[in-house]
């Protein structure tokens, strides 16, 4: 009887974890959807001017800041701090950011193989800057845990409310819930792959790729796509 109760508790706990990841997938997708409009306005205002690496990563840092800010607000919807939920959320954020970094690295390597004298200004990518932005975002999330009052500002509250409104919408809400499901599956696969890499001793982030790319293509040192995926 005791064994059954423990097993049931573990199942419930796993389901809660899956529900948190699913909800975060929905939040990330809707945030990316809303942020896309800000990105479009920014690009229209910038016009045809070339975006330098500093400007690109400043925009990304601002995006990641508001993403972790809004994510933290969703963890506080119950008006109490749930340590387990915060830990899971932080791990999912790290997995999400690292996944985007890996996608950028793959794009960089593919671009290196097929470019051969073609346009060299399509993307900008810098591994150190990417890691720096991720650390910046995660540190802010941790900081909000200790100082939750600083997570509430007019823009983050606006994001939070609009995400809730879109999530409740019939058609859009369903679409983003489907995206949330695939996000859940993707995160599970990433965690399995990361666990496998840790067991094998292989690096999760290929730092040598950036160095090799820079040495072979100095003008393509940093890659960034204005229309990056959600």
227 falls within a domain: no
Rounded to two decimals, the pTM is: 0.79
40 falls within a domain: yes
Q: Residue 94 contacts by C-beta under 8 Å, 6 or more apart in sequence?
A: 134, 138
225 falls within a domain: no
CA 87, distance to chain mean position in Å, is 16
Q: Residue 175 contacts by C-beta under 8 Å, 6 or more apart in sequence?
A: none
- For residue 6, name the pLDDT band (cuts at 50, 70, 90): low
Q: Is 125 or 74 the better-scoring residue by pLDDT?
A: 74
193 falls within a domain: yes
Q: Is the CB of residue 108 less than 8 Å from the CB of residue 223?
A: yes
228 falls within a domain: no
Give the angle 226-216-125 at the CA atoms, nearest 5°. 20
The span from the CA of 152 to the CA of 144, in Å, is 10
Q: What's the pLDDT at 1?
A: 45
Reported as a single tens digit per residue, the pLDDT across 29-71 is: 999 999 999 999 988 888 777 778 888 899 999 999 999 999 9
Reported as a single tens digit per residue, the pLDDT across 170-221 is: 999 999 999 999 999 988 888 787 777 767 766 656 654 444 444 444 444 4
Structural domain range at position 26: 2-220
114 falls within a domain: yes
101 falls within a domain: yes
- Mean pLDDT calculated for residue range 20-25: 93
CA atoms within 13 A on the CB side of 29: 21
Instruction: Give the number of domains in the chain.
Output: 1
Two structure tokens written together for 50 = 């070339």
161 falls within a domain: yes
Q: Is 114 or 88 the better-scoring residue by pLDDT?
A: 88
Residue 83 has pLDDT above 60, yes or no: yes
Residue 125 has pLDDT above 60, yes or no: yes
Q: What's the pLDDT at 91?
A: 92
Q: How far is CA 147 from CA 68, 151, 198, in A?
A: 14, 8, 33
The span from the CA of 128 to the CA of 126, in Å, is 6
């Amino acid at each position: 009887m005791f064994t059954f109760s423990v097993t049931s508790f573990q199942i419930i706990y796993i389901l809660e974890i899956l529900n948190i990841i699913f909800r975060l997938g929905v939040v990330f997708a809707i945030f990316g959807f809303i942020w896309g409009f800000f990105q479009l306005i920014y690009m229209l205002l910038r016009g045809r001017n070339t975006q330098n690496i500093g400007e690109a990563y400043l925009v990304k840092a601002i995006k990641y800041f508001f993403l972790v800010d809004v994510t933290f607000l969703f963890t506080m919807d119950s008006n109490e701090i749930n340590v387990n939920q915060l830990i899971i959320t932080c791990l999912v954020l790290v997995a999400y950011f690292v996944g985007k970094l890996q996608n950028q690295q793959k794009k960089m390597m593919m671009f290196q193989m097929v470019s051969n004298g073609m346009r060299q200004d399509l993307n900008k990518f810098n591994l150190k800057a990417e890691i720096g932005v991720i650390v910046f975002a995660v540190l802010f999330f941790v900081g909000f845990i200790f100082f939750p009052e600083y997570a509430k500002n007019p823009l983050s509250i606006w994001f939070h409310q609009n995400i809730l409104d879109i999530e409740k919408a019939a058609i859009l809400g369903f679409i983003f819930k489907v995206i949330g499901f695939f996000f859940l599956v993707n995160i599970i696969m990433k965690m399995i792959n990361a666990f496998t890499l840790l067991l094998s001793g292989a690096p999760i982030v290929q730092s040598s790729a950036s160095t090799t790319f820079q040495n072979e293509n100095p003008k393509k040192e940093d890659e960034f796509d204005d229309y990056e995926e959600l």
